[in-house]
Structure 1
Amino acid sequence: MPTIELSATPKGNGYQATVTFPNGVSISSAETYPTIAGAIAAAARKLLDMPDRLDALDKSASSSAS
């Protein structure tokens, strides 16, 4: 099963949200958030805004499991 990592990295006076996919591709927010929880929530929202990437992961996981 593929693993997608959501993380918060210190940047300036806050935290930057990052989504990292199993193939090593990372997408980081341009904005910063005042808390780690806020940055992780932003990363989760960003991930949910990319259903095509989630569908592709589902397809690759199911084809490799066969």
Structure 2
Amino acid sequence: MDLKEIKLKSLAELKSLLAEMREKLRDLRFKLAQDSHKDVREIRVVKKTIARILTLIKIQEVKSPAKK
């Protein structure tokens, strides 16, 4: 997923995308452990995407803090 596409998403969409990417990372790790997945680079890409999503979530939360 491209960074430009991720930046256009709302906070709720980012959180759901984060859950999907974490699930994908878990599945990739299981496949790698079972030797049924050979592309180690994909794990690195997913981890970087997760980091980008977390950064954008934090930026959006700081810009519009929740009322307590």
TM-score, normalised relative to structure 2: 0.33
TM-score, normalised relative to structure 1: 0.33
The structure with more strand, counted as a fraction of residues: 1
The structure with more helix, counted as a fraction of residues: 2
